[in-house]
Structure 1
Amino acid sequence: MTLDTLRALAAEDRLADFGVFHSTEDDAPGPGTIVLLGPDEPGFWAHVTNAPEFADTRPDPLDRWSRRVISALADRLGGTALFPFGTPLHPFMTWALRSGRAWASPVQLLVHDRAGLMVSYRGAIHLGYRADLPSTTSDSPCRDCRSQPCLTACPVTALTSGGYDIAACHAWLDTGPACMSQGCEVRRACPVSRGYGRTDAQSAFHMERFHP
């Protein structure tokens, strides 16, 4: 099985390879290869919201969809499915940095070479062998971003180079700003995010869960 096979199978459910790295004995899954999976945009949200998990009234439809789909994919590939939710809690932020395709942005959020500040991980698959890794020669997109609009996008300066003021953020969201229907203004300001194709409906879904 090659990584190309994994990518092709993941694409059937609008999931994309968001980074690959070799795991070691120190990682909970053990040595091998970990493939991080994220939404394949545009088109992910239209696909996933047609799934049965979104037709019932049970909570956490996106997490339940992710668990079902990625677990089935891992079984087909002889791997193990891993998730950034539930237990055990895996260090997806650390894994993202190790993949060479995500970095700390000027506002300390992760920024991804394809998704920008809209990066999210639906899960990962651990393969019990060391697959040939793709080259990751790109640098952080922030390196050539001269204007760095993320630093000034937040109306209440809750996200800055100095960190995250969560109280100020939630107080602002209480007023019902566009962040609730379109997503965080800082994330939307990122030039890479703007070209990613994530829908407002998906951002609103996540914001409602972040600030119910």
Structure 2
Amino acid sequence: MILSRGTIDGIAAALAVQGLILRGGFRFASDEAAPAGLSGSPAKSALLVGQAGAAPWPYFQHWLERQPQSIANPLDTWSREVLGAVAQEFGARAVSPSDRPYLPFQQWAMRAEGLKPSPLGILMHPQYGLWHAYRGALLFEEEILLPEPHKAIHLCDTCAEKPCMKSCPVDAYSEQGFAHEACLGHVRGPRGGPCRTGGCLDRNACPYGTDYRYPPEAQAFHMAAFARL
């Protein structure tokens, strides 16, 4: 059985109500250890779900206003709720990047959209820059006829100055990787105010996709979540 174009369009419309978008998809190879679909049999295909810019932010905020203040991981909870409802409507299994055991979401994303990681580890999108995210995936036990993704222009290859590697006061990102403890200590410390209120300075220094940059309140929310780790 093949998932119809009309079904995919219906999924996209259901996601758009919450500011989310389809981020491509792919078919699992016959010899691949695919995760289980809705019935428990191996999934045959996946559609990735995410966002461009902060489009879901007002919908998430409206939902959050109705939740108890003690709710843990609210963005993950909201994402699971939204994707779960869509999955139920269209006969899919919804999975999340924070599910345990972890699923290879970054590899799936590169496979679905042909993207590559930036020096910060976030996938660089030719339109959205670093201002996008993946909120989950819908796994189907039907095949999906999708064209192979075009190899996207990797904007980092065209960027000589690499301001994303020079703006952090504690050099959290380098060729050696991400200095998690140094970053966390700075964000939590007395000089971390600009990061706490306006987001990662390295990420904000990237010149690409600035029309999609998250608003300060959204960046502060994500940084607060990071600082609680």
What per-residue deviation string (whole Å, max 9, x for no partner) do you get for residues 41-81 of structure 1? 34321121101575322222211111111011011111110
Matching residue within 116, 124, 130 for 1:111: 124
- Partner Cα distance (2:214, 2:50) in 1: 12
Q: Which runs of 5+ in 2 are unaligned?
A: 37-41
**Structure 1 length-normalised TM:** 0.88
CA contact (8 A) 1:17 1:37 kept: yes
Structure 2 length normalisation: TM-score? 0.82
Residue number among 181, 185, 190 corresponding to 1:167 in the alignment = 181
1:154 Cα offset (Å)? 1.7
5, 10, 14: which one aligns with 1:5: 10
Matched, 1:195 2:211: yes
Structure 2: how far apart are the matches of 1:146 and 1:5?
42
| Residues 1:156 and 2:198 aligned together | no
- Are the structure 2 counterparts of residues 4 and 192 from structure 1 closer, same or farther at C-alpha, using a change threshold of 3 Å? farther
Cα-to-partner distance string for 1:121-163 (whole Å, 9 max, x where unaligned): 2111112222122452222222333332212122221102321
Answering whether residue 102 of structure 2 is matched by residue 89 of structure 1, we say yes
Partner of 1:34: 46
| Compared CA separation, residues 47 and 148, structure 1 to 2 (3 A) | same
Partner of 2:59: 47
8 Å contact kept, 1:33–1:129: yes
Equivalence for 2:82: 69
Tell me the SS of whatever aligns to 2:143.
coil
RMSD: 2.2
Could you say if the C-alpha distance between residues 198 and 6 of structure 1 is closer, same or farther in structure 2, counting changes exceeding 3 Å?
Answer: same
Higher Cα radius of gyration: 2
- Counterpart of 1:15 in structure 2 is 20
- Are residues 43 and 105 of structure 1, via their aligned partners in 2, closer, same or farther at CA, if it must alter by over 3 Å? closer
Task: Give 3-state SS (helix, strand or coil) of 1:121's partner.
Answer: strand
Structure 1: gaps (5+ residues): none
Residue matched to 2:159: 145
Range moving further from structure 2, 64-73 or 182-191 = 182-191
Taking structure 1 as reference, are residues 117 and 40 closer, same or farther at Cα in structure 2, changes over 3 Å only? closer
Aligned residues: 212
Percent identity (aligned): 31
Closer, same or farther: CA 49–150 of 1 in aligned 2, 3 Å: same
**3-state DSSP of counterpart to 2:89:** helix
Amino acid paired to 1:204 = A
Shift of the 13–134 alpha-carbon distance from structure 1 to 2, 3 Å rule, reads farther
